């Protein structure tokens, strides 16, 4: 089944006017399986599977993703908010005026909305923003290879003097046949 909306949203690759800059996130286009570790403030760990899908969007001037924890299937039934399920999307748009990425994360299940700025930091990608509760948020892509990466979500209650990891994804690229 095709959808005029999805056809209009999607793109086959980067726009020529931003092609080189789009590589920062463009390398993630495809589907990924996740091993998700969530850490509470008291140090308890919750481990679950997830899935993450990246694609070109908006005439190739953006990268959009869908992040789903736990993955689609039986575990998603019931009260999603009570189960701390996540099913959201990130829109990443390269802004030549600031030579960085403007990022909007939206999760309607948890009613989480976050704006961030993303940039390369050495071999890593670091996104910074402020959560609705006023704490700083740092989301990082680390140890990036063609087929894997580590994503870390961190929060700071002291204006960035110290950071606490609250979520960690180990991502493995799915084969084209999956």
What tens digit of pLDDT does each residue of 122-138 get? 999 999 999 988 999 99
Residue 83 pLDDT class (50, 70, 90 cuts) = low
Q: Given this model, what pLDDT does residue 178 score?
A: 57
- DSSP letter assigned to residue 51: E
**pLDDT (mean) for 69-98:** 79
Per-residue pLDDT at 161 exceeds 90: yes
Cis (ω within 30 of 0) for the bond into 70? Answer: yes
Kindly report the pTM of this predicted structure: 0.90
Asked whether residue 20 carries a pLDDT value surpassing 90, the answer given is no
DSSP 128-142: EEE-TTS-EEEEEEE
pLDDT tens per residue across span 36-46:
999 988 888 98
Q: pLDDT tens for residues 94-112?
A: 999 999 999 999 988 888 8
Burial category of 11 from C-beta neighbours within 10 Å (exposed 0-12, middle 13-18, buried 19 and up): middle
* DSSP output for 140-173: EEES--SSEEEEEEEEESSTTSS-EEEEEEEEEE
> What is the sign, positive or negative, of the torsion defined by CA atoms of 157, 63, 73, 35?
negative
pLDDT surpasses 70 at 79: no
């Amino acid at each position: 089944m095709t959808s005029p909306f999805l056809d209009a949203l999607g793109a086959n690759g980067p726009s020529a006017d931003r092609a080189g800059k789009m590589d920062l996130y463009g390398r993630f286009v495809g589907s990924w399986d996740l091993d998700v570790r969530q850490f509470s403030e008291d140090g308890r760990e919750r481990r679950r599977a997830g899935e993450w899908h990246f694609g070109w969007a908006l005439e190739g001037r953006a990268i959009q993703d869908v992040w789903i924890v736990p993955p689609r299937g039986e575990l998603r039934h019931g009260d999603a908010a009570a189960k701390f399920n996540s099913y959201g999307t990130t829109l990443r748009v390269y802004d030549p005026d600031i030579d960085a990425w403007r990022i909007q994360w939206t999760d309607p299940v948890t009613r989480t909305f976050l704006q961030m700025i993303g940039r390369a930091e050495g071999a890593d990608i670091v996104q910074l923003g402020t959560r609705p509760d006023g704490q700083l948020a740092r989301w990082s892509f680390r140890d990036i290879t063609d087929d894997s990466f580590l994503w870390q979500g961190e929060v700071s209650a002291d204006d960035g003097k110290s950071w606490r990891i609250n979520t960690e994804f180990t991502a493995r690229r799915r084969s084209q046949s999956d």
